[in-house]
Amino acid sequence: MVVALFGFLLLWQTADAAPKRGYEALMTKIPSAAQLELSPGEKMEVEVAFQNIGEKAWVNDGKGYVSIYTYDPKYRRSSFDPGTWLGPSRVKRLIEPRVEVGGIGTMRFELRAPEEGGEYAETFHLAAEDVAWIPGGEFTLRINVAEVSEVAEVIEDGESSGGTDISGLLDEEKKPRVGAPGYDAAVLLRSSKKIATPGGASVTYTAGVKNAGTAVWSSRRVELPDFKLAASGADLAHASWLSSSLLALNDRGEVKPGELDFVTFTFTAPRIIGEHLVVFTFTANGERVEGGEILIPVDVTSNAPDAVVSPLRDGVMDRAEMIPEPVMRVGVLIVDEETDGKVQIVCDCEVMAMKDENGNPLADVPRGVVASAYYDEGKYFYDAGRGLEMTSFPIRFVPDTLGAILTITNFDRRATRDSENADNQFRNVLELRHNTKKDRAWLINELPMEMYLRGLAETSNSSPIEYQKAIVTAARTYAYYHFLRQTKHAAEGFMVDAWRDQVYKGYGSEARLSSVVSAVEETYGVTVTYDGQTAITPYFGHSDGRTRAWSEVWNGDIAWLKSVSVPCDAGRNLFGHGVGMSARGAICMASDGIGYREILKHFYTGVDLRRDWEGDVAD
């Protein structure tokens, strides 16, 4: 899984190094990506194996039996389920009746490729039933499903003449020759038939190009084409390019007619979510080569985290001057098998009003009464004690008091996620909303910014207070940045994800982390700005002695995200993306008596601090 741009390693709340409840595993066998090449609808049996390095024997029946579940997110329904798994999210049990400590346990299960081609990453996790997720038991299968339109004919000499049929690019009319006489090529091999990647990420690609002409190739180049079929060259540019249009150059050796040449190059993925076609051209000896176009379908899964080009929401000022406190919308729970496809909610307030998204009243629920709701086939169903009723619009649970606590009674992380705490309580408003983007329903928590920050679990209660202020301010700035802009979650109806963006556990975290709550109060409304505008403020676990500039990791240049030294991190390995604030480095500075303002200004070059709501703050 790609490291999240703003995700932060919880230095005090990481998984135990010791076996969890006596269970721990070491993977010893997994199919390689090269082995997992499937056609649409094709079935394949795979085998994985783990060594039991914990303290307890594994069994395949009875209490704590060992099996594989889908993961990331937990309990999801996989599109590779052939119908022979144990359930929608539980795959197969251990083959061996018993595996002693030190022994090897194996599991075999079948995959069935979906009809839609592409590259998939399917994550699974080893579990001891009703006991624990087994540390070391998470694994990801990278599976390539051929495109339906893909031709893969095998010719007599054993080489593939296949290619990707891109609609609108290939027609039956004979096209004029683009290459010089004798310069012909066939792109036979590709490191990936389709790329799935976040916007703005670096993509390294290898193509195998056959010399199908009569000329001997000496110097070979990969360049931008003269025409633009999909993405602009400026958007694709990468720091590794030799010029604004030259991606790669190879003048070592010769490629004779009939021989295969491999070219490797890197480009920046398009920044906007959606399907793109990236096109490069292959030249030899300075000549365009007929058949040398390298066509790469790119599926951008999320918009690039770009502080410069992200569009502002309508009506938002460039400078936040005494604005009202922003109201955040946080995706806190995907409503799926984990809660039997529904939510049951009770409020500690006198009356909890159930309304549709247009504000129309549905029901008033008194204190202590549980109301339930679910989405099915285009309709929302709810029961507030009068029997099952229906509406066509998303349902909101609105307490009569600002900040009242709502509890999801049929969700408990201790039972379904092996957590220490239930973390099923959230302040203010909850909303059940289905989206067509990913065809799933979310429970969304809507609450004022400072209430949201109280529920963050990005650090522990025992970390230095000035560090807590620094991390809270960076987190507030990140959240406000996404409040101001159209973000990757807009299609699903919220601004930030409670797990993938910043770890948010709601009221439970607020109740446990009193010191963090104090840090929120002492920095009320303070954000990081650069040249008067809200800055983007990534942070990560720890560096190897210096942070990385934005341009080293994500391409482009962000003025306040430069490489700075972190003496406290010297001698360590880089953990995280390396851009922005090193958590361990910031903790070290705070322990040395340095204040949170100085910490932030060290890691974010040339920034200022500003209180965007409720008054000004002095530097």
What domains appear along the chain, each with residue ranges and CATH number?
25-145 (2.60.40.10), 185-300 (2.60.40.10)
Closest CA to 395 of 327, 343, 326: 343
Most confident of 4-8, 80-84, 95-99, 256-260: 95-99
Determine the residue type at 607.
V
User: Residues with Cβ < 8 Å from 157, sequence gap 6 or more?
Assistant: none
Instruction: Tell me the Ramachandran region of residue 578: left when phi exceeds 0, alpha when psi lies from -120 to 50, beta otherwise.
Output: left
Closest CA to 306 of 607, 555, 12, 47: 555
531: confidence class by pLDDT, cuts 50, 70, 90? confident
**pLDDT value for 77:** 83
Instruction: Give residue 196's pLDDT.
Output: 84
Question: Minimal CA–CA distance to 165: which of 143, 147, 144?
Answer: 147
Instruction: Identify the weakest region by mean pLDDT among 153-167, 338-352, 515-529.
Output: 153-167
Task: State how far the Cα of 292 lies from the Cα of 301, in Å rounded to an integer.
Answer: 28
Average pLDDT, the chain: 83
Across 91-100, 309-318, 501-510, least confident range = 309-318
Q: What is the pLDDT of residues 382-411, one digit of tens each?
A: 999 999 999 999 999 999 999 999 999 999
The phi and psi torsions of 204 (rounded to 5 degrees) equal -100, 130
pLDDT at 232 over 70: no
Tokens for 114, please give them: 């979906």
pLDDT for 156: 30
**Residue pLDDT, tens place only, 149-194:** 432 232 233 333 233 332 333 333 344 566 678 898 888 777 777 7
Least confident of 110-119, 236-245, 314-323, 551-560: 314-323
* Strand-strand pairing, 533-534 and 429-435: unpaired
- Bridge partners of 6? none
Q: List Cα–Cα distances, 278 to 117, 184, 186, 266, 329, in angstroms.
A: 18, 21, 18, 12, 35
Helix (H, G, I), strand (E, B) or coil at 575: strand
Q: Which residue did the predictor score with more confidence, 554 or 23?
A: 23
In angstroms, how far is the first alpha carbon of the chain from the final one? 39
pLDDT score at 584 = 94
Residue 106 near residue 96 (C-beta atoms within 8 A) = yes
The string of DSSP letters for 113-152 reads --SS-EEEEEEEEEEETTTEEEEEEEEEEEEEE--TT-B-
* Helix, strand, coil percent values for the chain (each to nearest 5): 15, 35, 50
How far is residue 293's CA from residue 295's CA, in Å, rounded to a whole number? Answer: 6
Residue 233 has pLDDT above 60, yes or no: no
Beta carbons of 494 and 331 less than 8 angstroms apart = yes
Cα(449)–Cα(611) distance, integer angstroms: 13
Confidence band for 130, pLDDT divided at 50, 70 and 90:
confident
| Residues 528, 532, 534, 538, Cα dihedral to 10° | -50
Predicted pLDDT of residue 178: 60
Question: What is the mean predicted confidence (pLDDT) over 343-351?
Answer: 96
Please give the average per-residue pLDDT across 612-618, as a whole number: 57
User: Comparing C-alpha atoms, which of 244, 233, 241, 240 is closest to residue 270?
Assistant: 233
Q: Is the pLDDT of residue 145 over 90?
A: no
pTM of full prediction above 0.95: no
Q: Which residues contact 298 (CB under 8 A, 6 or more apart)?
A: 194, 195, 197, 203, 231, 269, 270, 275, 276, 277, 278
SS3 assignment for 224-246: CCCCCCCCCHHHHCCCCCCCCCE
* 439-469 confidence digits (pLDDT tens): 999 999 999 999 999 999 988 888 999 999 9
Tokens describing residue 234: 């400026």
Which amino acid is located at 69 in the chain? Y
Cα separation, 553 vs 359, in Å, equals 45
Residue 303 binned pLDDT confidence (cut-offs 50, 70, 90): low
pLDDT of 560 above 90: yes
| Section 245-274 average pLDDT | 83
Q: Residue 292: what pLDDT?
A: 83
Nearest alpha-carbon partner for 477 in 419, 556, 415, 561: 561
How far apart CA 387 and CA 473 sit, in angstroms, is 46
| Angstrom distance (rounded) from CA 138 to CA 127 | 9
**How large is the average pLDDT for residues 280-286?**
89
**What is residue 229's predicted lDDT score, i.e. its pLDDT?**
34
Region 584-592 average pLDDT: 95
Number of C-beta neighbours around residue 34 at 10 A: 8
**Is 470 within 8 Å of 601 (Cβ atoms)?**
no
Residue 431 has pLDDT above 50, yes or no: yes
- At 8-54, the pLDDT tens digits run 333 333 333 345 678 988 887 887 655 687 777 788 889 899 989 88
| 3 or 128, which is more confident | 128
Whether 422 shows a pLDDT value over 90: the answer reads: yes
Residue pair 434/375 in contact (Cβ under 8 Å)? The answer is yes
63 CB neighbour count, 10 Å cutoff: 9
Strand 533-534 with 539-540, pairing: unpaired
Q: Where do the DSSP E strands lie in 236-286?
A: 246-250, 260-268, 274-284
For residue 591, pLDDT beyond 80: yes
* pLDDT for the residue numbered 247: 86
Angle (deg, nearest 10), helices 465-484 and 596-603: 60
